[in-house]
Amino acid sequence: MERAQTAVATVAVTPWTDQRIVDAAPDASSVAAGRKLAAPGPWSETGVNDSLLWGRCQGSGSTPYQVSVDLLAPAYRCSCPSRKFPCKHAIALLLLWSAGGVGEAGGTAEFAQTWAEQRDKRARSRAASPEDRAPADPEAQARRQAERAAKMDAGIEEFTLWLGDLARAGLADARGRERAWWDGVAARLVDAQLPALAEQVRDAGGAIRAGLGDRDLLQLIGRWWMLAQGWSRRQTLPADEQAELRTALGWPIPTAEVLAGESRTGVWSVAGVHRDLGGRLQQQRTWLRDDDGEHVLLLEISGPGSALGTPQLVGSRLRATVGLYPGSSPRRALFDGSPEPAGVARDLGAGMDVASAHAAAAEQLATAPWRVRFPVLLGGVTVAAGEETAVVDAHGHALPLVPEADRTTMLAITGGAPCDVFGEVEDGRLRVLSLVTDDGVVAL
């Protein structure tokens, strides 16, 4: 198998640790179910080579489930009906392999080989597909863009009037509004080709019901006003700020246009992954960091009836070319072709203190004022053990954590000792995505 042979030349696969398997699981219940099956009893025809792990697991039916794991991508397949990736059978097989219960095989099982070859074929087809890189008709593209801009102009004008009414009525009035009121405003924004702004307004209705504070609500309304004013004056903005503004409002950029534009090739460390499943649209953010400390963001959005892809493993290193979306640093990106495994990251480079993190976020905000979150690597911070939910640097400066932060797990992993922390700064709070310990980069 061509891809597997190439991968073997770059990295030797060793059994995954228990923590790495847990990090790859979609939820805790899948891990618990997988542990129950991680024994030789239900398994047959297991094997592993330099890129694949496979086996058959006997379930309640007469035919065993066929389980295959691409250890380098990673990717998972099981013939069971579960819609989770990886499912409990794949997790169980990984745990069995981690415990030494799967030996090397003389030949790959036919079902695993067929699946791997099909994935390679699809990847090569996508890479070679001419329509992905075919230039658009300039005249037709300009006409469509003009029509969309006109709809957005009208939508922003109406939204600006609505914001003025909202400000005059006050926050108390906004808090008393039913969810349907917010949904109605969002629906009009969707009609005006402003889907990202519409999603923010729709989510605000639910957030208020969940206890959104006055400070955060006022900040949100201020951001909406800034977006509206920015669009009205977009012709005066630099090209990168115009690109950021279009993204914030929900103007999509075709994949072909991204792949035909600027790109960057190198080795990237997967610094952190976060899945936001709270809204109508699910979101998966994957932060890649190169050895110079530059970040790019892989953003995946999934609507109702569809599922997010399998997340990259935090702490893995990937040799890849990424196409860069227009905008300011850190740029959004997408893989141009399939990334190749390039080992495991022992660290993420030099971290900064809290004051430097605030300064870096402020600098990025000045060039991309439409954004709500920024990546940061803090060096040598400790998790506050008292009532304060924060991390504290060596100078005693604290950075508050987001309300949903799992401080107990952070303390359990670090033992209260200083460590490097990677995460996202959002509205002055830190969402921790990974910790750098003696064992390497650990996903939170």
pLDDT at residue number 85: 81
pLDDT at residue number 280: 67
The Cα–Cα gap between 237 and 374 comes to 21
pLDDT at residue number 363: 87
pLDDT at residue number 274: 92
The residues facing 298 across adjacent strands are: 286, 333
The residues facing 431 across adjacent strands are: 424
54: burial class by Cβ within 10 Å (0-12, 13-18, 19+)? buried
Q: What are phi and psi of 259, to 5 degrees?
A: -65, -25
pLDDT at residue number 303: 66
DSSP string covering 420-444: EEEEEEETTEEEEEEEEETTEEEE-
pLDDT in tens, the chain (444 residues): 333 333 333 334 578 888 888 888 888 889 999 999 999 999 999 988 878 899 999 988 889 999 999 887 788 999 998 878 889 999 999 999 988 888 776 688 899 999 888 877 776 665 555 444 555 577 877 888 899 999 999 999 999 999 999 999 999 999 999 988 999 999 999 999 998 899 899 989 888 988 888 988 998 999 999 999 999 999 999 988 899 999 899 888 888 888 888 999 999 999 999 988 766 678 899 999 999 999 999 998 876 656 677 788 899 999 999 999 998 889 999 999 889 888 899 999 999 999 999 998 888 888 788 888 999 999 999 998 777 789 999 999 999 999 888 888 899 999 889 999 999 998 889 999 999 988 889 998
For residue 320, what is the DSSP state? E
The Cα–Cα gap between 299 and 287 comes to 9
Q: How many helices (H) and strands (E) does the chain have?
A: 15, 16
- Cis preceding linkage at 86, omega within 30: yes
The residues facing 331 across adjacent strands are: 296
Instruction: Enter the tokens of residue 264.
Output: 């960057």
Instruction: Enter the tokens of residue 64.
Output: 């065993």
pTM: 0.73
- Count Cβ atoms below 10 Å from residue 297 Cβ, excluding itself: 17
- Where b means 16+ CB within 10 Å and e means fewer, 400-426 reads ebeeebebeebeebbeeeebbbbbbbe
Q: Are 239 and 326 in contact (CB under 8 A)?
A: yes
